[in-house]
Structure formats: structure tokens, C-alpha cells
Amino acid sequence: MTVKLTLPTQSKMLSKDFVYGVATASFQIEGGTKSRLPCIWDTFCDIPNKIADGSHGEIACDHFNLWQDDLELIESLGVDAYRLSISWPRVITKSGELNLEGVAYYLNILDILISKNIKAFVTLYHWDLPQHLEDQGGWLNRDTAYKFRDYAHLISQALGNRVYSYATLNEPFCSAFLGYEVGVHAPGIVGKEFGKKAAHHLLLAHGLAMEVLAKNSPNTLNGIVLNFTPCYPESDSLIDISAAAFADDYFNQWYIKPVLDGEYPEMMSQLPTEHHPEIHEGDMAIIAHPMDFLGVNFYSRAIYRGDEEENFIQIDAPEPRTDMGWEIYPKAFAELLVTLNDKYTLPPIYITENGAAMADKMVGGVINDLDRVDYYQQHLNAVNDAVELGVQVHGYFAWSLMDNFEWAEGYLKRFGIVYVDYDTQVRTIKASGHAYKALITNR
Ligand code: FCB
């Protein structure tokens, strides 16, 4: 059976300028934990019952040792770009200096990417906060934003002109809400009063780092990566519609609006004052530093019902669903992009993550993940629909290059277009990986 990914022949996404890539994150693939400082995810994994399969990141995909093979694998996929993240606790010492060994690890990766003509999209923070900073309050401590600025300064100087694009943060929503409000991600803090405070310090960190990057690295594309889970009402009733609007402000607009418009959604006035962030004079202007691009991560939508007591209740995702239980609803992707384009003056958009966990089976050495190919096909079509409606999308990254440590789900959920056998560390390109390669190379 041939599995193909196609786009209409006239599609702008078939132009050679459109960037196709694969994405990973340091904690999810590297391992090599003994060669760096501990981070909040090391600590979190040690707490019983936090990770579904009781696993940790000590080895993960062993990319710390296998990086050269992995770069060849990336090259073999024919991609234009590779999105990776830098592990802050690998490159900065406790006293705030560069750890030259850790820096050398990334310099080698970047130099090889350059030699292979693959653009490096570097994320500075994909959730692996140094534990010693968490011990000082982590993202609830305003000072962490300044520590991040200092890290951004040192690392952008050290990496020089090897980088094509810097993203300050990956998905501050997840860091703030999952990490400091519902506690299902590291550091596991629970309390409605904490989420927005952590979010503000993350956004401040972003703005401060943007200032530094604009100075140190004016020729890279500098921006942020935000995740969006578009919010739909369960019915046409007013109460459901306003529940979905509230959820949208809470989860989505809360991050994009300050970054682009320099203010939080008006909905803040409906939150108890104890839940408000602590905003200092000048913060919002820093947060709204102009950006060269916006990274958009999309996986699914959410459906809400209104409720007298709670502001909103999320209802169970309808089928079809991925192995994560996330609804497959590509229409929301196109609608999201078009809506953002209507609401905001957007910089160029890169889809920095999109993909699906599926219950892959290796049969006779082959992973025929037609469900994942289908997911990619539908979502590429959705992006193309948005592009046709005038949204400036300049690139698309599959999440993920390879199966990896999927946070609270451990190794149970496979998002890769390459299969990883965690016993042998052998990588096998899945049908989706072959299809993605064919789409890219046949342009
Ligand atoms: C995103 C994360 C990424 C990965 C995917 C499935 O929220 O940025 O690391 O876990 O979800």
C-alpha cells in the first residue's frame, strides 16, 4: 500500500521557500542527565505516580550519545529545518556562567546542521528549568525571568551565527497552568492563585530575552512558540458560548494577547484578585517586544459547557481520537489560524508542532502508521486552507522526529515519525516518516 502526503499542485506550501522540519525537545530525547545540573523534570519524575509508566529522562532516546546518528537520520528525511531545544541546566552553571562542555555539545550539533544545510530552530526553554532556580520559587519568583534573560544573553553570544531562529519559550501555557496551577507537570504545584502569576513571569522572561536576542542576534528570526487548543461551545446556548469564550481567554488569548497587544484579556477582571499576576510598571511593554515570527503548536480542540458555579466545564472529547485521547478535528486548525489573523497583526507564522500519538505496532520490522499519515494529511490540508485565506504561514514542523519521553505519559505515547526501540535505541522510520520525506523532496 502506498501512503502519500499530497497538497494541491498550486499550493504555496509546495514552494521551496516553505520550511519543512521535524521537532524535538532536550529533556524528551537527550538523557545524559549526569552531565548537567538537575532540572525540575528530573525531580518530578522521582515523585511516585507522577509519570504514567514510572519512567524518567535519564536515558530517553540517548540522543546525548547518539546525536551524530540522529543528525544523519534527520538529513535522511530531507527536511529543511530541525527544531531543537537547549537544556538550560546543561549550559549554565549554578553560579550563572557558561558551562563550556555543555555549550560544546550544542555547538557540535549546530555545526553539523550547517554542514548539512539544515536550518536550526532553537528553543531556549522547553520546560527544563534548573532545579536550583525552582528551589528559589521557580516561575513564581520574578527573579527567574531575569535569570532567563542572562541565560539567553550568554547562550546567544556563545552560539553566534549558527542559529536560524530563536524561540524564547515553548508553550508558556503548559509551564504555567500544568506546572503551577493543576500540577500535572513539573514542578507539580497546585492552586488557582499560582497559574497566572507564573504565566506573567514566563512572559516577562520572554520579553526580556527578546530584548537580548534583538541585540545579540539581530539576523535570526526571534519569537515565541505558543500552543493553542481552540475552544468550542457544546451548543448554541448563550451559557455554552460564553463558557467557551472564557476558556479561550484563559488558555489561549492569555498568552498571545500580551505578546502581540501588550495587554491581558479583559476577562482578567472576572478573576478573583488573588489570582491576578503581579504586574510591574513597564512589564507589558517589555512583553510586547516586536517579534520576527510566531510559532504555533496545534494538536486538537476542546469543547465546553457552561456551568453556574464553574466558569466552564470541558466535556469528553468526541471521536475520532488519537492515542492521547485528543479529538482529531483538523477544521479547528484552519479556523484557529484564520481567527488569529483576523484578531491580531501577526508576524509570519511557523507551525512549530503538529502531530499525533498513535498506538504503533512494528510488524516484520515495519511501522505502517496509516492513522498518523492520515492525521498529517488532514492537518496539512487545514494549514493550506488557512494559507489560501491569506494567513502568512512560512513553515511546518512535525512533532516529533522520533518517539520520546512524553512528559507525564512517560514512554507510553509515541509521537514520532521515526520509531524508537527503547531497549536497543534502534530507530526505524515509520510510514509517516517516509511519506513526509516524499512530500518534502518531491516539491
Ligand atoms: C506539546 C509539547 C511537546 C510534546 C507535544 C506532544 O505540548 O510542546 O513537547 O510533548 O505536546
Residues 276-327 pLDDT 10s = 999 999 999 999 999 999 999 999 999 999 998 888 999 999 999 999 999 9
Q: Which atom of ligand 1 is nearest to the CA of 227?
A: 7
Q: Which atom of ligand 1 is nearest to the CA of 225?
A: 8
> Any idea where the domains of the chain sit in the sequence?
12-441
Query: Could you give the 3-state DSSP secondary structure of residue 385?
Result: helix
DSSP 250: I
> In the beta sheet, which residues pair with residue 182?
190
Q: Is 60 exceeded by the pLDDT of residue 82?
A: yes
Instruction: Give the model's pLDDT for residue 88.
Output: 99
Helix, strand, coil % over all residues of the chain, rounded to 5: 45, 20, 40
Question: What average pLDDT does this structure show over 332-355?
Answer: 99
Instruction: Give the model's pLDDT for residue 1.
Output: 45
Query: Could you give the 3-state DSSP secondary structure of residue 248?
Result: helix
Q: Which atom of ligand 1 is nearest to the CA of 357?
A: 6
> What's the N-to-C CA distance of the chain in angstroms?
22
Can you read off the three cell numbers belonging to residue 300? 486538537
The packing angle between helices 63-76 and 100-115, to 10°, is 10
Can you read off the three cell numbers belonging to residue 366? 515495519
Task: Report the 10 Å Cβ neighbour count for 423.
Answer: 6
Q: Is 50 exceeded by the pLDDT of residue 13?
A: yes
Q: Is 327 a catalytic residue?
A: no
How close is the Cα of 174 to the center of ligand 1, in Å? 9
Is the domain defined by 12-441 classed in CATH 1.10.10.10? Answer: no
Q: Which of the residues 134, 181, 327, 353 is marked catalytic? A: 353
Q: Which atom of ligand 1 is nearest to the CA of 25?
A: 9
DSSP 178: I
Share of the chain above pLDDT 90, in %: 98
Q: Is 353 a catalytic residue?
A: yes
| Nearest-10 Cα torsion for 243, 184, 90, 113 | -60
Instruction: Give the model's pLDDT for residue 47.
Output: 98
How close is the Cα of 238 to the center of ligand 1, in Å? 33
Residue nearest (by alpha carbon) to ligand 1 atom 4: 406
Share of the chain above pLDDT 70, in %: 100
Instruction: Give the model's pLDDT for residue 318.
Output: 98
Q: Where are the beta strands (DSSP E) in 50-143?
A: 81-85, 119-125
Instruction: Give the model's pLDDT for residue 86.
Output: 99
How close is the Cα of 269 to the center of ligand 1, in Å? 30
> In the beta sheet, which residues pair with residue 122?
84, 166
How close is the Cα of 299 to the center of ligand 1, in Å? 9
How close is the Cα of 254 to the center of ligand 1, in Å? 19
Instruction: Give the model's pLDDT for residue 2.
Output: 53
How far is Cα 229 from Cα 330, in angstroms, rounded to an integer? 12
Pick from 22, 173, 353 the residue to mutate for probing ligand 1's pocket: most ligand atoms within 8 Å of its CB.
353
| Buried/exposed 163-200: b ≥16 CB within 10 Å, e otherwise | bbbbbbbbbbbbbbbbbbbebebbbbbeeeebbbbbbb
Ligand 1 binding residues, C-beta < 6 A: 25, 28, 170-171, 174, 227, 297, 353, 399, 406-407, 415
| Ramachandran sector of residue 315 (left: φ over 0; alpha: ψ -120 to 50; beta: rest) | beta
Q: Which of the residues 134, 171, 181, 406 is marked catalytic? A: 171
